[in-house]
């Protein structure tokens, strides 16, 4: 242990803590209660652990996953916490396909939303049931039709554009969370994940609300600038025709 501490530059007490946390294997040979021999390869492993702590502020649990080449435990814990938060926020009422069609949702549109993966029914055929956020989404789309936003104005397949844009937003959000929160959360990871899941939804809604009018002005200005940049249109000229002289 003394040699490990000297060669790695990490105190023996810290190395013993790494051993207790399972980041280092137990000694290969133990000659007495106070004397043990360790694999020399542990020197580089100890340096790596200390570097990950010092430079990236990673908790030991995450470092263990990194050293083992997998962070599956952390990802599973994060996913479980997100699922708990989503379940808590999700409404609990349910409707069958027949009830939705009877309320005015065209069957073809319902099939389209299921086909693109926007909603996922439970059951099959006549036993299909829609609940939670899926049902809220379908009701929102139905309300837009009742408000006068016709199929010609916003066809159902326009939802695919929303899905693509929001998927990129969610990907960015998760990347920031995994890089910023997960390495520093430690034992608070489940609670912080649930809190972030709920708060990020409010943040997205508020940022979108604040960006709506400024972005509209920007779009209008860009279109006007394009119009001004276009060369003026010149009406086509008719070719001159020679007049034929007439003689009396």
Residue-wise pLDDT for 133-143, tens only, equals 888 888 888 88
Contact 198, 72 (CB under 8 A): no
- The length of the chain in residues reads 248
Phi then psi dihedrals of residue 116, to 5 deg:
-85, 0
- CATH number for region 2-70: 1.10.1660.10
pLDDT (0 to 100) of residue 206 = 93
Q: Is the pLDDT of residue 240 over 80?
A: no
Instruction: Collapse the DSSP code of 95 into the 3-class scheme (helix H, G, I; strand E, B; otherwise coil) and give the result.
Output: strand
Q: What is the pLDDT of residue 181?
A: 83
Banded model confidence at residue 53, pLDDT cuts 50, 70, 90? confident
Q: Which of 90, 49, 101, 85 is nearest to 114 (CA)?
A: 101
- Whether 70 has a pLDDT exceeding 70, the answer reads no
Strand residue runs (E) in 67-173: 94-96, 129-131
User: How confident is the model over 173-186, as pLDDT tens digits?
Assistant: 888 888 788 777 77
Q: How far apart, in Å, are the Cα atoms of 3 and each of 18, 41, 176, 187?
A: 16, 12, 40, 32
Region 209-220: what's the mean pLDDT? Answer: 94
pLDDT score for 149:
85
Q: Please, where in the chain does CATH 1.10.1660.10 lie?
A: 2-70
pLDDT per residue as tens digits for the range 219-233: 999 999 988 888 776
pLDDT of residue 128: 87
Give the per-residue pLDDT at 57. 65
Output 193-197 pairs: Cβ under 8 A, ≥24 positions apart: 193/77, 193/78, 193/81, 193/82, 193/85, 194/81, 194/82, 194/84, 194/85, 194/88, 197/81, 197/82, 197/85, 197/86
Largest Cα span, the chain: 139
Mean pLDDT of the chain: 82
Find the mean pLDDT for residues 77-82. 80
Mean of pLDDT values over 104-130: 82
> Cα separation of 68 and 61, whole Å?
11
Compute the half-sphere exposure of residue 158: CA atoms within 13 Å on the CB side of its CA: 9
Output the DSSP codes for 10-45.
--HHHHHHHHHTTSSPPPSEEEETTEEE--TTHHHH
Average pLDDT over residues 153-182: 84
What local confidence, expressed as pLDDT, does residue 144 receive? 84
d(CA 161, CA 168): 11
């Amino acid at each position: 242990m003394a040699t490990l501490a000297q060669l790695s530059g990490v105190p023996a007490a810290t190395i013993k803590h790494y051993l207790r946390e399972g980041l280092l294997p137990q000694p290969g040979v133990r000659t007495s209660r106070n004397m043990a021999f360790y694999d020399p390869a542990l020197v580089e492993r100890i340096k790596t652990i200390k570097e990950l702590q010092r430079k990236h502020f990673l908790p030991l649990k995450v470092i263990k996953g990194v050293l083992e080449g997998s962070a599956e435990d952390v990802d599973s814990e994060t996913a479980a916490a997100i699922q708990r938060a989503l379940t808590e926020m999700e409404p609990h009422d349910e409707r069958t396909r027949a009830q939705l069609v009877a309320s005015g949702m065209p069957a073809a549109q319902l099939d389209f939303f299921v086909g693109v993966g926007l909603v996922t029914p439970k059951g099959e055929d006549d036993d299909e049931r829609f609940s939670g956020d899926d049902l809220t989404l379908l009701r929102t789309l139905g309300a837009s039709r009742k408000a006068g936003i016709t199929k010609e104005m916003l066809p159902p397949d326009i939802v695919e554009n929303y899905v693509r844009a929001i998927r990129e937003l969610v990907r960015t959000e998760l990347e920031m969370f995994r890089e910023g929160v997960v390495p520093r959360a430690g034992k608070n990871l489940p609670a912080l994940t649930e809190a972030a899941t709920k708060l990020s939804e409010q943040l997205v809604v508020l940022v979108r609300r604040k960006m709506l009018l400024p972005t509209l002005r920007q779009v209008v200005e860009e279109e006007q600038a394009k119009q001004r940049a276009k060369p003026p249109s010149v009406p086509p000229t008719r070719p001159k025709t020679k007049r034929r002289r007439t003689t009396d």
